Amino acid sequence: MSAVSSLVPARFLTLIAHLVIVITIFWSRENNVKACLPLNFTQEQYDTEDKKLLVGLGVTLGLFAIELTGFFSGVSMFNSSQSLLSTGVHASASVALLFFLFEQWNCDIYWWILAICSVVPAFVEILLFVAVVGLKKKPL
Amino acid sequence: MYFKVEMVCLGLYAFTFPHNLRVVSRAKHVNNKQNREFNQTAERVPGYHGNSDGFHGPVYQEEAGCIPFSSSVVFRQKMELPETIRKRLDDFSRNILFDQTRTVTFAEENDGFLPHEKPVLSSLQLQMSLYFNMWFFPCWWISETVMLHLKYPALPEYYKFILVTILLLMTLIEAIRLYLGYAGNLQEKVPELAGFWLLTTLLQLPLILFQLFNEAILIQPLERGVHIVLTVFILIQAASGFAALRNMVRHTGSQFHLQQFD
């Protein structure tokens, strides 16, 4: 099926794009943290918001680890529905995070992006893990 | 086309990566310890030339649609390394890297095999990492070029020269490295795989670590992201390439040894 041979690299590239942007935000989150603070903020407020964003980024990286292990171990690599879902969701996450970075959006928006674009594919990945390893179904 | 074969186990071994596995493992039993649980009833492919000395890779059958992880079409042409380089790399692998005088070679086991029971020496992990590295490389290249262009005015003179040189070098080495890795792994050729492994560990690894850890070159966040991904790829290829090379050296005789007796 030629569709599969283009779905696998597409999924990989969108995953990596999302991952690279998350790493980029991790290193340059200062402006975004300042965007969710009032104009006159104290250092403690800054630290609190910074820590919240750090936790969000950490959770994203953890969910990435889940999805990447599922992908590279072959559990969901050739599953067309999961690949399609993952490609679409990570592509939208990449675009959204690009705007988040460049337009210096509010850091509350990051939690929405996290919920829709990181939790959903990781959750489906866990379901697939359970289905393949636990219920011994075929990994397709 | 994948779905014709029956899959017993999930994970890396559930699918026919790479193309070579499909062609070579026409047997019911694949003896390679990596593929212990891999059992497929692949149809017999006509025109398969036996892999007796391990150096004549199987003839690839063109199939409808692509199989990921291998572009077997590329290796129809005879773009090989020069003979002297191949001989040197072969000597290096067999005598310096893996000293076989103290380990028992597996040559005796081959006598008991039926002709169609050949161990699969291509490494799946290596092939996967090469495939995804090949797809990732243009992204890395574009990111690196754009960031270098953006930070160029802010660099000291010597770093301007150094970084441009490193970018050119890494591009060239990456192209050659990926080609050698594909050729060496899929066609189970020791010299190409040894060349790939040397390029990876001795050239590409120091260069990428330099770009990742030298703060004086004004590393930008985007560069950190793409360099981290490339470093992970290179490390995985160094490790799995080493294992694949060791397997291949142990299971194959020397191609150049017999020529001494002609």
pLDDT at B117: 66
Mean pLDDT of A35-59: 89
| Contact call for A1 and B1, based on CB within 8 A | yes
Question: Tokens standing for A111?
Answer: 């939690």
Query: Across all residues in chain A, what is the average pLDDT?
Result: 89
**Which amino acid is it at B227?**
H
DSSP B175-186: HHHHHHHHHHHH
Residue A46 has pLDDT above 70, yes or no: yes
| Contact call for A23 and B132, based on CB within 8 A | no
Mean pLDDT of A50-60: 92
Q: What are the angstrom distances between the C-alpha of A69 and each of A7, A94, A99, B18?
A: 17, 20, 28, 19
User: CB-based contact (8 Å) between B205 and chain A?
Assistant: no
pLDDT at B71: 52
Domain count, chain B: 1
How far apart (Å, rounded) are the C-alpha atoms in residues B135 and A51?
A: 35
Q: Which of B11, B68, B136 sits opposite A8 (nearest CB)?
A: B68
How far apart (Å, rounded) are the C-alpha atoms in residues B45 and B22?
A: 9
Q: Which region among A29-38, A51-60, B19-28, B141-150 has the lowest average model confidence (pLDDT)?
A: B19-28
| Contact call for B11 and A75, based on CB within 8 A | yes
Partners of residue B66 in chain A, C-beta under 8 Å: 2, 5
Question: Tokens standing for A117?
Answer: 């674009």
pLDDT at A33: 85
Q: Which of A22, A24, A73 sits opposite B11 (nearest CB)?
A: A73
User: CB-based contact (8 Å) between B225 and chain A?
Assistant: yes
Closest by Cα among B32, B73, B36, B42 to B186: B73
DSSP A8-49: HHHHHHHHHHHHHHHHHHHHT-HHHHHHTS-SS--HHHHHHH
Q: Which of residues 60-89 of A touch B (CB under 8 A)?
A: 72-75, 77-78
Q: Domain for residue B83, yes or no?
A: no
- What's the pLDDT band for A134 if we cut at 50, 70, 90? confident
pLDDT at B10: 34
CB pairs under 8 A between A and B: 76
Domain ranges across chain A: 3-134
Residue A93 has pLDDT above 90, yes or no: yes
User: CB-based contact (8 Å) between B218 and chain A?
Assistant: no
pLDDT at B50: 37
| Contact call for B15 and A78, based on CB within 8 A | yes
Residue pair B51/B89 in contact by the 8 Å Cβ criterion: no
How far apart (Å, rounded) are the C-alpha atoms in residues A115 and A45?
A: 24
Calculate ∠ Cα B180-A74-B37, nearest 5°: 90
- What's the pLDDT band for A34 if we cut at 50, 70, 90? confident
Kindly report the nearest CA distance between residue B52 and chain A, in angstroms.
31
Encode pLDDT of B38-71 as tens digits. Answer: 333 333 334 333 333 333 333 333 333 334 565 5
Instruction: Give the residue from chain A lying closest to B66, CA to CA.
Output: A2
Question: Tokens standing for A26?
Answer: 């991790």
DSSP state of B115: T
Partners of residue B224 in chain A, C-beta under 8 Å: 23-24, 27
| Tally of CB atoms within 10 A around B2 | 18
pLDDT at B105: 53
Residues in chain A: 140
User: CB-based contact (8 Å) between B8 and chain A?
Assistant: no
Calculate ∠ Cα B83-B87-B92, nearest 5°: 150
Residue A68 has pLDDT above 70, yes or no: yes
| Residue in the block written with tokens 């990447």 | A68
Alpha helices in A28-106 (DSSP H): 30-35, 43-72, 80-102
Please give the residue range of the domain that contains residue B244.
130-260
Residue of A2, A8, A15, A24 to mutate for B, most B C-beta atoms under 10 A: A24
Q: Is B84 exposed, middle or buried (0-12, 13-18, 19+ CB in 10 A)?
A: exposed
Residue of A20, A68, A72, A125 to mutate for B, most B C-beta atoms under 10 A: A20
Q: pTM of the prediction?
A: 0.77
Encode pLDDT of A94-127 as tens digits. Answer: 999 999 988 888 888 889 999 999 999 999 999 9
Kindly report the nearest CA distance between residue A76 and chain B, in angstroms.
9
Q: Domain for residue B192, yes or no?
A: yes
Kindly report the nearest CA distance between residue B246 and chain A, in angstroms.
23
Instruction: Give the residue from chain B lying closest to A74, CA to CA.
Output: B11
Give the residue, B46 or A2, on which the prediction is more confident: A2
pLDDT at B254: 63
Calculate ∠ Cα B215-B217-B220, nearest 5°: 80
pLDDT at A5: 79
How far apart (Å, rounded) are the C-alpha atoms in residues B233 and B228?
A: 9
pLDDT at B126: 94
What residues in chain B have per-residue pLDDT under 50?
1-67, 72-74, 108-110
